[in-house]
Amino acid sequence: MSVRGPRKGENYELSVDLNSEYRDKRKDAIKRTIASMTVGKDVSGLFPDVLKNMQTDDLEQKKLVYLYLMNYAKTQPELVILAVNTFVKDTDDPNPLVRALAIRTMGILRAEKIIDYLCDPLQKCLRDENPYVRKTAALCVAKLYDLKPELVIENGFLEQLHEMIGDSNPMVVANTVAALSDIHASATTASTSDQDPAVFVISAGTLSKLLVALNECSEWGRVAILSALARYEAQDDKESEHICERVVPQFQHANGSVVLAAVKVIMIHMRGVRREELVKQLVRKMAPPLVTLLSSPPEVQWVALRNVNLLLQKRPDILQNEMRVFFCKYNDPLYVKVEKLDIMVRLAGENNVDALLSELKEYASEVDVDFVRKSIKAIGQTAVKIDGAAERCVNVLLDLIATRVSYVVQEAVVVMKDIFRKYPSTYEGIIPTLCSNLDELDEPEAKASLIWIIGEYASKIDNADELLGIFVDTFTEESYPVQLQTLTAVVKLFLKKPDSSQGIVQKVLNTATKECDSPDVRDRAYIYWRLLSTDPGAAKSVILTPRPLISVPRTTVSAGLLEQLLGEIGSLASAYHKPSETFVGRGRVGVDKVKSVGAEADERSSAQKALQTVAAGQQSENLLDFDDAPATDGQPSGLAATQFSQTPAAASILSGTSSNPLDDLVSIFGAQSTPQQAPSAAGPAFGNLGGLDFGMSPSPAGVTSPSVGVMSPAAPQAQNQQNQQDDLLGLF
Amino acid sequence: MTSLIAILDLKGKPLIQRTYRDDVAPSYVEKFMPYILDIEEEGQQVTPCFSRDGINYVHIRHSNLYLLALSKRNINVAETVIFLHRFVSVLVEYFKELEEESIRDNFVIIYELMDEMMDFGYPQTTESKILQEYITQESHKLETMQVRVPQSVTNAVSWRTEGIRYRKNEVFLDVIESVNLLVNSNGNVVRSEILGAVKMKCYLSGMPELRLGLNDKVMFESTGRTARGKAIEMEDVKFHQCVRLSRFENDRTISFIPPDGEFELMSYRLSTPVKPLIWVEAAIESHKGSRIEYIVKVIAQFKRRSTASNVEIYVPVPDDADSPKFKTSTGGVQYAPDKSAFVWKIKSLAGGKEFLMRAAFGLPSVRGEGDSMERRPPITVKYEIPYFTVSGIQVRYLKIVEKSGYQALPWVRYITQNGDDYSLRTALEKGSAPIRQSM
């Protein structure tokens, strides 16, 4: 029947043993076959030999054969049919374990031929007297729907599942809910019609059954039921309250996913609760279980921290007095430490800032360079966030600069620039200290930051021309962000001290327009040049215009997205802080299709997918933005968004607080609208150019250094977009 | 809705894998390691889950293995990660140690477990005691010995089988409190918490109903009773699934039908400030390029009637330290170069006592350049203090009711120990908080 291999070698020996007259030998041969299968050897040729051993009263042997079938049914579809008889017979076995095993395996085989034979036994098993069989059968309906939805609908399996929500056994209820939700998910992604019978609408009657089963079923069943409860739409505030009160005890469950699922349900149904004091009570009860999640294994901690981060964006008061529990442990993995840092800054306030700063200073002296940098960033964010603590933060930074460890100094300089953006003309006293470290800077971002500071305070730094001269001399060797920054700083210097800096400005404009190969740098130099030569007054108001103050954004995602993510607490979306459309592939791609597509096409399709992702992200984000801030008022929402992520400080803050390259990307897209909208809004073209200055002066830190690129397909794309965007801006 | 679960070795080679849903091709497992390397190369941290080409990779580490779950959908990742951890603990209970070797030797049983613990990507049963009842290493003949699904798999009481018999009915309660603590280099306690656990060993017949009474402040307050002695305020209590949560929510009663044998009934957390029970401080004098000297002082800051046992103090030293010299009046000191630390072990440390030890190491005269940032791990301490709880928690009663009406004896034991993070940061270099005392 099948093509036999040569009459020697491992498979031949196995085949001989599989046909042995001794039972033990046969069983041992099946085990060896499975072992070969596991290590990746092809034993599909033994299919008929293994199949012969399926009829047995040895349960273990039966399981082994089933195991083999699951793996190879797809490659030998015409042979699977031979197994059907045994399967059907097994679903009638007196032992419920065998019945369940048969129905479970038949569902997984996924061979077209076998499906038609699945319906009758499934019908029977759904009404089986044993709950173990029923719970297995319930999931089998979902498997069948995945393969052939028509069959499920024709056979009335859906109605049957709906009945089973009232089953006396909580495990069966849980699996039924899981199956219905699974079918619901497939149905809603495939079609848009609300009339689809597969849509799982939870009625008030279902609700009460679920609430009863919730207290009795196993931990995983609780997660399934809670997820269904999250989808229920409460009729009125009484019902919302009722659901919250029934779900709150789940906070005490030892399983963290039950806790998070309960948090999700509460966050959703709390929206409908009108009694303020109940809301307060719920929020208060939420804090201790969240803190306890921090004693879980690091991976669980990470998921919890990402979700806590979202929760804090919505309700900053949840963990108000708990900042200390987020202090990093020496042995925490870096990904945990980074999340903790972010949350600490979120929780920082006047009352705990001293403890925070002393911790951050401690972290800044650890060995892991990444962590040290992030800690220093956090100090900067704290300074920007809490006015009263800014001076203490600056002092800590000065202490760190005094260590003269290269990367510490560089990061501190970058952070200082943010502080100058927030508190202009406040800490000028430390500029000499910063400048004295000029020689040690070798990273573009640090250099650019220091140059910006020199340019900004050129009138107060006596030797500003000397300092900038160093960079002008090496202009062509510097990276573009440094070049751009040098250019602007020198022009600022000229506008402030025209007498002493005529030569240097001439030199830099010359070099930038003639010897520089970046169109951005050249274009900006031309603009400055023309501005300076036609109307120095205009140049002044464009280039020296005061920058908007920066602040640490309270949220890293838009309000609409935040609500959506809070409704998905515990999911991947809430861990990534991204809407699910951005990482869930559309439509289902069959295994065979994936295999047949070559490597090249694969790359292309992934690139395309990334583009779609970006577009999707942009769309949803923009739509949400419009919701919050209508574009009719003086400041277009696009512009507002731009200022944040494009100004140097905000860019680095964003990249510190958000691991989401899309955020930055989106705001870049937002920038596109700036030049278009600004003229109508602001009349004089200065507004336009002023915007350009903001846009260009920073290094594109937000995009080039996303802190956690979970979504790397988007990252290279982001780069491209950024470049294009730069060009676009350059055109103006 | 996990599509696939695989166990991989450190090089990313799959040792065993199981597909639950067809939407993710098994070949994606092999892409996991290259992606991890990519992410590391980009200088970013590898987070427990990431998404590539529409596939979500969720993973945990266990000794030298990766456990990986793949999915295409927006899955409940909290559930997935915790399930992977449970999977590990079940495998550990089956094979003692989970490593490449034990996986290779037990393909068949691992497949069976994977089948039983998850169906179509939904976690089912992860109670290893129940699984062990019907998934065993011995084979069963259907005619001779009927393997049945233990009723408990789907029972409302899914953690206990009926018909358990003991000649002597006994319950052992262990109240274990682990103290986590972080002390700053200037001697301030920055963070402290008590993680408590009530562990039980149950040898009881039938289906007993148990009720546990603690000196719980909230319960005293809600019932209007005044506590005799101290009552404690537990900040967050977690229960084994056998405890009726709604009853606890209503009137703080801890009532349950226990699983058989050993299990953790509940855990709780208190973040009330704790005085460090064992205080350690070190004065470090470093002479760059020649030697480094330590004076370590330990103080047992608890009541005289208690005694800490098996105290181990880990003091970190530079990686390249050599030729150790130790001097101490009590206990023994060992150099552990593999941990870059020396360990001061004191078998028994009575409350109120304090001791000193001195250590000196040689340092190589030539050092690498630019490493002015020294690794400065904190001092860590391990200890156990029996018959003592920091929080003052007490078991007031444990009532055991079974329909056959037997008498059962509860035994209670208290112990306080270090948590997984009991650390004291050291001050940098000389001059800071020196301990001047002659030995």
Q: Tell whether the model's pLDDT for residue B400 goes beyond 60.
A: yes
Convert the pLDDT of each residue in A112-164 to its tens digit: 778 888 899 999 999 999 899 999 999 999 999 988 898 899 999 999 999 99
Among all residues of chain B, which has the CA nearest to that of A143? Answer: B120
Q: Determine the Cα–Cα distance for residues B322 and B189; give it in Å rounded to an integer.
A: 32
- Residues in B closer than 8 angstroms to A107, CB to CB, are 120
B134, B269, B425 ranked by CB distance to A97: nearest:
B134
Convert the pLDDT of each residue in B156-190 to its tens digit: 566 787 788 999 999 999 999 999 999 988 888 88
Decide if A483 contacts A518 (C-beta within 8 A).
yes
With bands split at pLDDT 50, 70 and 90, how would you rate the model's confidence at A224? very high
Ordered by where they begin, the domains of chain B are 4-132 (3.30.450.60), 170-274+390-423 (2.60.40.1170), 278-365+377-386 (2.60.40.1170)
Q: How many CB pairs under 8 A join A and B?
A: 301
> How many other C-beta atoms can be found within 10 angstroms of the C-beta atom of residue B137?
11
Least confident of A197-211, A422-436, A671-685, B206-220: A671-685
Helix (H, G, I), strand (E, B) or coil at B208: coil
Question: What per-residue confidence (pLDDT) applies to B204?
Answer: 93
Decide if B69 contacts B58 (C-beta within 8 A).
yes
Residues across chain B: 439
How many angstroms separate the Cα of A83 from the Cα of each of A23, A70, A137, B64, B172? 20, 12, 19, 39, 52
Question: What per-residue confidence (pLDDT) applies to A291?
Answer: 93
The average pLDDT across A187-212 equals: 81
Q: Tell whether the model's pLDDT for residue B237 goes beyond 70.
A: yes
**CB–CB of A224 and B373 under 8 A?**
no
Question: What per-residue confidence (pLDDT) applies to A698?
Answer: 39
With bands split at pLDDT 50, 70 and 90, how would you rate the model's confidence at B436? very low
Minimal CA–CA distance to A305: which of A322, A290, A323, A321? Answer: A290
**CB–CB of B269 and A292 under 8 A?**
yes
Helix (H, G, I), strand (E, B) or coil at A498: coil
Decide if B88 contacts B67 (C-beta within 8 A).
yes
Structure tokens at B319: 């990686």
Beta-bridge partners for B176 = B197, B415
At residue A331, φ and ψ (nearest 5 deg) are -95, 5
**CB–CB of B108 and A64 under 8 A?**
yes
A57, A218, A296 ranked by CB distance to B141: nearest:
A57
Least confident of A403-412, B133-142, B326-335: B133-142
Q: How far is B347 from chain A (nearest CA, A)?
A: 26
The average pLDDT across B293-300 equals: 93
**CB–CB of A591 and B22 under 8 A?**
yes
Q: How far is B282 from chain A (nearest CA, A)?
A: 17
ipTM for the predicted complex comes to 0.86
The average pLDDT across A197-203 equals: 85
Convert the pLDDT of each residue in A80-104 to its tens digit: 888 888 889 999 988 888 899 999 9
Among all residues of chain A, which has the CA nearest to that of B81? Answer: A300
Convert the pLDDT of each residue in A410-451 to its tens digit: 999 999 999 999 998 888 888 988 888 888 888 999 999 999
B53, B77, B182 ranked by CB distance to A303: nearest:
B77
Structure tokens at A77: 């579809």
Q: Tell whether the model's pLDDT for residue B234 goes beyond 70.
A: yes
Q: How far is A574 from chain B (nearest CA, A)?
A: 9
Question: What per-residue confidence (pLDDT) applies to A448?
Answer: 93
What Rg do the C-alpha atoms of chain A give, in angstroms?
32
**CB–CB of B249 and A96 under 8 A?**
no
Structure tokens at A473: 């001399």
**CB–CB of A710 and B47 under 8 A?**
yes
The average pLDDT across A288-304 equals: 94
- Residues in B closer than 8 angstroms to A570, CB to CB, are 76-79
Convert the pLDDT of each residue in A665-700 to its tens digit: 444 443 343 333 333 333 333 333 333 344 333 333
The average pLDDT across A277-281 equals: 93
Contacts of residue A69, Cβ cutoff 8 Å, sequence gap at least 6: A50, A51, A54, A80, A83, A105, A109
With bands split at pLDDT 50, 70 and 90, how would you rate the model's confidence at A634? very low
Which among B149, B263, B380 is the top mutation candidate for probing chain A, defined by the most A β-carbons within 10 Å of its own β-carbon?
B149
Decide if A272 contacts A235 (C-beta within 8 A).
no
Q: Tell whether the model's pLDDT for residue A631 goes beyond 80.
A: no
Decide if A243 contacts A229 (C-beta within 8 A).
yes
- Residues in B closer than 8 angstroms to A404, CB to CB, are 372
Contacts of residue B302, Cβ cutoff 8 Å, sequence gap at least 6: B277, B308, B351, B352, B385, B388
How many angstroms separate the Cα of A538 from the Cα of each of A301, A320, A535, B107, B236? 55, 49, 5, 77, 63
**CB–CB of A572 and B77 under 8 A?**
yes
Q: Determine the Cα–Cα distance for residues A26 and A49; give it in Å rounded to an integer.
A: 10
Least confident of A350-364, A545-559, A646-660: A646-660
The average pLDDT across B130-155 equals: 61
What residue type is assigned to position A299 of the chain?
E
A9-24: buried (b, 16+ CB within 10 Å) or exposed (e) per residue? eebeebbebbeeeeee
- Residues in A closer than 8 angstroms to B425, CB to CB, are 362
Q: Determine the Cα–Cα distance for residues A708 and A663; give it in Å rounded to an integer.
A: 12
Q: Determine the Cα–Cα distance for residues A719 and B256; give it in Å rounded to an integer.
A: 58
With bands split at pLDDT 50, 70 and 90, how would you rate the model's confidence at A58? confident
**CB–CB of A303 and B123 under 8 A?**
no
The angle, 0 to 180 degrees and rounded to 10, between the axes of the packed helices A444-456 and A480-496 is 10
Q: Determine the Cα–Cα distance for residues A29 and A25; give it in Å rounded to an integer.
A: 6
**CB–CB of A370 and B421 under 8 A?**
no
Q: In what order do the strands lie in the sheet with B170-183?
A: B236-239, B261-270, B189-203, B170-183, B409-424, B379-386, B307-316, B341-350, B332-336
Q: How far is A436 from chain B (nearest CA, A)?
A: 19
**CB–CB of A335 and B23 under 8 A?**
no
The average pLDDT across A37-56 equals: 83
Strands B55-62 and B65-71: antiparallel
Give the burial class of B34: count Cβ atoms within 10 A of its Cβ; 0-12 exposed, 13-18 middle, 19 or more buried. exposed
**CB–CB of B52 and A591 under 8 A?**
no
What does the domain layout of chain A look like in residue ranges? Answer: 358-442, 457-552
Contacts of residue A650, Cβ cutoff 8 Å, sequence gap at least 6: A550, A553, A643, A644, A702
B38, B191, B267 ranked by CB distance to A254: nearest:
B267
Q: Which residues, numbered 92 to 151 in chain A, qualify as contacts with chain B under a Cβ-Cβ cut-off of 8 Å?
A: 95-98, 100, 104, 107-108, 110, 130-132, 135-136, 139, 142-143, 146
Question: What per-residue confidence (pLDDT) applies to A7?
Answer: 61
Q: Say yes or no: A289 contacts chain B, CB-CB below 8 A.
A: yes
Question: What per-residue confidence (pLDDT) applies to B133?
Answer: 80
- Residues in B closer than 8 angstroms to A104, CB to CB, are 115, 119
Q: Determine the Cα–Cα distance for residues A11 and A29; give it in Å rounded to an integer.
A: 10
Decide if A315 contacts A326 (C-beta within 8 A).
no
The average pLDDT across B40-54 equals: 90
The average pLDDT across B306-335 equals: 92
Strands B254-256 and B395-401: unpaired
The average pLDDT across A581-586 equals: 75
Sign of the Cα torsion A444, A445, A447, A451 reads positive
**CB–CB of B44 and A708 under 8 A?**
yes
Which among A219, A265, A370 is the top mutation candidate for probing chain B, defined by the most B β-carbons within 10 Å of its own β-carbon?
A219
Q: How far is A689 from chain B (nearest CA, A)?
A: 35
Decide if A190 contacts B128 (C-beta within 8 A).
no
Q: Tell whether the model's pLDDT for residue A630 goes beyond 50.
A: no
First to last CA, chain A: 73
Q: Determine the Cα–Cα distance for residues A286 and A318; give it in Å rounded to an integer.
A: 7
Q: Tell whether the model's pLDDT for residue A281 goes beyond 50.
A: yes
Beta-bridge partners for B122 = B119
B54, B238, B246 ranked by CB distance to A254: nearest:
B238
Convert the pLDDT of each residue in B338-393 to its tens digit: 888 999 999 999 999 999 999 999 988 876 554 455 667 899 999 999 999 999 99
The average pLDDT across A649-665 equals: 41
Q: Determine the Cα–Cα distance for residues A664 and A645; give it in Å rounded to an integer.
A: 6
Decide if B256 contacts B200 (C-beta within 8 A).
no
% of chain B at pLDDT higher than 70: 89
Structure tokens at A167: 């089953």
Among all residues of chain B, which has the CA nearest to that of A332? Answer: B421
The secondary structure of residue B155, as a DSSP letter, is: S
B47, B54, B77 ranked by CB distance to A585: nearest:
B54
What residue type is assigned to position A559 of the chain?
A
Question: What per-residue confidence (pLDDT) applies to A517?
Answer: 87
Q: Determine the Cα–Cα distance for residues B27 and B115; give it in Å rounded to an integer.
A: 20
Minimal CA–CA distance to B69: which of B58, B61, B53? Answer: B58
- Residues in B closer than 8 angstroms to A307, CB to CB, are 78
B74, B126, B146 ranked by CB distance to A573: nearest:
B74
The secondary structure of residue A459, as a DSSP letter, is: G
B47, B185, B423 ranked by CB distance to A335: nearest:
B47
Least confident of A106-120, B388-402, B411-425: A106-120
Question: What per-residue confidence (pLDDT) applies to B320?
Answer: 84
- Residues in A closer than 8 angstroms to B54, CB to CB, are 583-585, 609
Question: What per-residue confidence (pLDDT) applies to A192?
Answer: 59
**CB–CB of B51 and A710 under 8 A?**
yes
A64, A178, A292 ranked by CB distance to B236: nearest:
A292
Contacts of residue A66, Cβ cutoff 8 Å, sequence gap at least 6: A54, A101, A105
Question: What per-residue confidence (pLDDT) applies to B156?
Answer: 59
Question: What per-residue confidence (pLDDT) applies to A660?
Answer: 44
Contacts of residue A567, Cβ cutoff 8 Å, sequence gap at least 6: A230, A264, A267, A268
Q: Chain-wide mean pLDDT for chain A?
A: 79
Q: Tell whether the model's pLDDT for residue A535 goes beyond 60.
A: yes
Q: Determine the Cα–Cα distance for residues A589 and A608; give it in Å rounded to an integer.
A: 15
Decide if A444 contacts A485 (C-beta within 8 A).
no
**CB–CB of B45 and A571 under 8 A?**
no
Question: What per-residue confidence (pLDDT) applies to B273?
Answer: 85
Question: What per-residue confidence (pLDDT) applies to A195?
Answer: 67
